[in-house]
Amino acid sequence: MKIALVQQNYHIGNFDANVGKIISGIQQAKQAGADLIVFTELCVCGYPPQDFLEFNDFINKCEAAVNEVCQHTEGIGVLIGAPRRNEKREGKRLYNAVYLLENRQIKGIVHKTLLPNYDIFDEYRYFEPADTWQVLEFHGKKLAVTICEDIWNMGDNPLYRITPMDELIKQHPDIMINLSASPYNYAQDTVRNSIVKAHTIKYGLPMIYCNAVGAQTEVVFDGGSLVYDRVGNRVKECAYFEEDFFIADLDALSKAEKAGTGQETPVFFSASEVGLGKNTLDYLSDEKNIEEIHQALVLGIRDYFTKMGFQKAILGASGGIDSALVQALAVEALGKENVWAILMPSHYSTGHSVSDAETLSKNLGNPYNIIPIKNIYDAFVTELSPVFKGLPFNVAEENLQSRSRGNLVMALSNKFGHILLNTSNKSELATGYGTLYGDMAGGIGVLGDVYKTQVYALSKYINRNGIVIPSDIITKAPSAELRPGQKDSDSLPDYADLDTILVEYIEGRKGPAEIIALGYDEQLVSRILKMVNMNEYKRKQFCPIIRVSYKAFGIGRRMPIVGKYLS
């Protein structure tokens, strides 16, 4: 039996486009002589559909999409993911389901058992879990079909009380097939491979794992679909961050007799294992991680614009490393003609900041304009002076500069229809080092899940084949340039210590005592954790952030604004 695996980029709620992709994949599989074709979790509607699932009209369109796909299944079996109504009175109104279609008929249905309800996932809000497990019969073979999280209940600390494959194996299946929508973070490919391999070794069956690809606002799906034979050899790892197609031969997968050389022992990581103490910085800037993060951010920008129907981007170019990196990524994602850089020098901007920003735009070939903010800022200060009553210069005047810039880029965004790219990094967002309605404005946060140390590593990666980002931008001390001689280090700890402590707290969920035990000063740890918790109110007002880590601000991290803990 030949089984086709189709890794595609879907668009939430765009039924015509999604069905068109699925039908195109079916035609490709037929031409290649496949007997069965496997798509991904909730592919007809896109994942995650979130509260669209609460609309009857949305579910009606999902059902219509399944029926339309069904008309193209003459002579081939098709496994697709879609929500399905629960016909029982009890429980949630929907199942997260997989349909087996063949010869214009629905031949079988599988429901998802394990419904993730952590980080970015909220499936138990919508779906009823399966309480029965049955293999699907197809051309004399028994298919053990599972959906995404159903295969993740392994390791020393299972999250769920049931493992679907433990039930399905009792029916003597011939192959395991998993339809997935597993999002990217910079360790997911290692964990994913170890999970799939562990299944083949535990159950003695080959496995086909088909994963979604593409960005859905904050969440990036990286693809990397897998085929493993029955003894744990990886036969195929599909492309990352792009669509792909592969045909596997079930007979060959089932006849494998011994594991190949160089096969790693299955390993499993939990979010609390992300923190690596003093080695965290090496992990964050690991060459493989940086290359993947680069691909994820480019895909995240491109899909956000494409799927929203936007074409052109605008950003404030300060001559600093954050805006330079965002500008370079945007040009790669959207094309140089579609990225407009606005340089807005103030009283305190250095000459080299302006020249560095100009050089960057010339290197990239994108349009740019210079709009000084001196007159605008002076007008604000003049009008406010009677109310400020001669109080000394402080953060109020600093933020007036940032908000002046925010007003300018938003005015241009409104006038010309460009979408503002935010340039704040994760280290800044964590500590509140940003101005609400100023440099925190934007339609999408490109670097909001990227620590400052990773910003430097990504900038060097951008320059891997030649200078794109001027060297001066990378090497100079970072500064907001809102007062004379200002440096980030005036307000923030050294980024090497700051980022390590932030990772241990945010991704690793370690408390202060655990972080101090790694060798960090108690006062420093207390100061940083207090900054994180005191600035939750700022992050709640921030734009969507492209997620690349285990724990991103925004959709996957839910913290109370008024909480007292560690603040």
Is residue 532 within 8 Å of 505, Cβ to Cβ?
yes
pLDDT tens-digit readout, 243-295: 999 999 999 999 988 776 444 545 555 545 555 555 777 778 889 999 999 99
Q: What is the mean pLDDT of residues 421-445?
A: 97
What integer pLDDT is reported at residue 397 of this predicted model?
A: 93
Domain boundary among 487, 507, 534: 487
Answer for the pair 69, 23: CB distance below 8 angstroms, yes or no.
Answer: yes
Do 191 and 340 fall into the same domain?
Answer: no
Residue 348 is predicted with a pLDDT of 77
pLDDT of residue 155: 76
Residue 6, in any domain of the structure: yes
CB-CB contact of 191 with 205 (8 Å): no
160 is in an annotated binding site: no
Question: Do 298 and 229 sit in the same domain of this protein?
Answer: no
Lowest mean pLDDT among 11-25, 58-72, 230-244, 252-266: 252-266
**pLDDT at 481 (0 to 100):** 67
Residues 450, 406 within the same domain = yes
> How large is the average pLDDT for residues 381-409?
95
Structure tokens at 134: 């049955």
Judge whether residue 84 has pLDDT over 80.
Answer: yes
164-192 pLDDT, tens digit per residue, is: 999 999 999 999 999 999 999 988 888 99
Do 105 and 235 fall within a single domain?
Answer: yes
- Domain membership flag for residue 555: no
The answer to whether 54 and 7 have CB atoms below 8 angstroms apart is no
Give this prediction's pTM. Answer: 0.95
CB 441 within 8 A of CB 422: yes
13 is in an annotated binding site: no
User: What is the pLDDT, as a whole number, of residue 352?
Assistant: 84
Phi, psi angle pair for 536, to nearest 5°: -60, -35
**Whether residue 245 is found in the same domain as residue 315:** no
* 322 carries a ligand binding annotation: yes
State the burial class of residue 131 (Cβ atoms within 10 Å of its Cβ: 0-12, 13-18, 19+). exposed
Q: Is the same domain home to 302 and 252?
A: no
Residue at 508 is within a domain: no
Q: Would you tell me the crossing angle of helices 15-31 and 56-70 to the nearest 10 degrees? A: 20
In this predicted structure, what is the pLDDT of residue 270?
Answer: 53
60-74 average pLDDT score: 98
Asked whether residue 318 is marked as a ligand-binding residue, the answer is yes
- The per-residue pLDDT for range 362-390, each reduced to its tens digit, is 999 999 999 999 999 999 999 999 999 99
Q: Residues 146, 216: one domain?
A: yes
Mean pLDDT across the stretch 350-370? 94
Instruction: Return the active site residues.
Output: 41, 112, 148
Residue 336 labeled ligand binder: no
Q: What average pLDDT does the chain have?
A: 94
Residue 157: CB atoms within 10 Å: 8
Its domain, for residue 394, covers 284-487
Largest CA distance in the chain: 86
Residue 213, pLDDT above cutoff 50: yes
Q: What is the pLDDT of residue 416?
A: 97
Distance CA 39, CA 466 (A): 40
Rounded-to-integer distance, Cα 557 and Cα 567, Å = 17
